[in-house]
C-alpha cells in the first residue's frame, strides 16, 4: 500500500513539474508576456493578456493556484488579466501570489518581496460607469481606470480588495477582508471597510 501511495505521489509531482515547464516555455515565446528566472507555478493560473497589453513577472515569483497545502481555503485559481490595449501588470522579484485576481485596465504594479494572500482582488478600473444620467445604458459602459501601485515588501492578508487609484506604501500590512479605497503610507498596519491606519511603525 505504501509503495502504491509513493508511486501516486511521484506521478503527481512529475505531472506538475512538466506542467510548470510547459507553462514557463509558453510564456517565454509569448511576445507580450515576460517572465524572469526561477518563477514557480503551482497549478495552472487563469491568464488573459490582450495582444496590446503586457504582463511582466520578475525573478523568483511564486504564483500559487494550488489549494492543497495552503493555510486558508483558496476559492479560485490565480487570475491575471490585462484586457485592453496598453494595459500593464508588473510583478516584482520574489513576490508571492496565492489564489487572487489582478485585473488591469490601465496599470497595476506590485513591488518586490510582496505577499498576496488568497482571495485578494486587485483592480484598477470599474466594470461600468455610474451613468446616472442614463441608467438604462449602464450595462453598455466599460468604466474608468486609475493605476494601482503596491510598493515593495507589502503584505495583503486574505480577502483584501484593492480599488482603483490606490498606492500602498513600502512595508505596510493590510489586514484580512479590508477594502483599500485610499492611499496607505509606508510601514503601517491598516485595515477595515473603510480602511484606516491601525498602527504605525518607525
User: In order along the chain (202 residues), what is the average pLDDT of each group of 10 residues?
Assistant: 61 57 57 87 90 94 93 95 94 98 97 98 93 93 93 98 98 98 98 96 88
In this prediction, residue 15 carries a pLDDT of 56
CA 9 and chain centroid, separation: 29
pTM (2 decimals)? 0.86
In this prediction, residue 143 carries a pLDDT of 85
In this prediction, residue 44 carries a pLDDT of 87
Q: Of the residues 30, 48, 50, 128, which is catalytic? A: 128
128 is catalytic: yes
In this prediction, residue 74 carries a pLDDT of 95
Find all residues with CB under 8 Å of 192, minimum gap 6, and list them. Answer: 175, 178, 179, 198
Torsion angle defined by CA atoms of residues 9, 14, 16 and 22, in that order, rounded to the nearest 10 degrees: -170
In this prediction, residue 19 carries a pLDDT of 56
In this prediction, residue 127 carries a pLDDT of 84
In our burial notation (b when 16+ CB lie closer than 10 A, e otherwise), range 86-95 reads: ebbbbbbbbb
Amino acid at each position: 500500500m505504501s509503495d502504491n501511495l509513493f508511486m501516486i505521489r511521484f506521478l503527481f509531482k512529475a505531472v506538475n513539474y512538466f506542467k510548470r515547464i510547459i507553462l514557463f516555455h509558453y510564456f517565454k515565446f509569448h511576445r507580450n508576456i515576460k517572465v524572469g528566472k526561477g518563477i514557480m507555478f503551482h497549478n495552472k493560473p487563469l491568464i488573459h493578456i490582450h495582444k496590446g497589453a503586457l504582463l511582466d513577472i520578475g525573478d523568483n515569483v511564486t504564483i500559487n493556484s494550488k489549494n492543497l497545502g495552503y493555510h486558508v481555503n483558496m476559492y479560485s485559481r490565480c487570475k491575471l488579466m490585462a484586457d485592453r490595449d496598453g494595459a500593464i501588470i508588473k510583478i516584482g522579484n520574489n513576490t508571492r501570489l496565492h489564489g487572487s485576481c489582478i485585473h488591469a485596465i490601465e496599470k497595476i504594479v506590485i513591488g518586490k518581496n510582496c505577499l498576496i494572500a488568497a482571495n485578494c482582488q486587485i483592480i484598477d478600473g470599474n466594470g461600468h460607469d455610474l451613468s446616472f444620467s442614463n441608467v438604462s445604458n449602464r450595462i453598455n459602459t466599460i468604466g474608468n481606470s486609475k493605476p494601482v501601485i503596491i510598493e515593495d515588501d507589502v503584505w495583503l492578508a486574505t480577502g483584501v480588495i484593492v480599488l482603483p487609484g490606490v498606492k500602498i506604501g513600502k512595508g505596510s500590512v493590510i489586514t484580512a477582508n479590508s477594502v483599500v479605497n485610499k492611499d496607505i503610507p509606508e510601514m503601517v498596519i491598516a485595515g477595515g471597510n473603510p480602511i484606516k491606519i491601525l498602527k504605525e511603525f518607525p
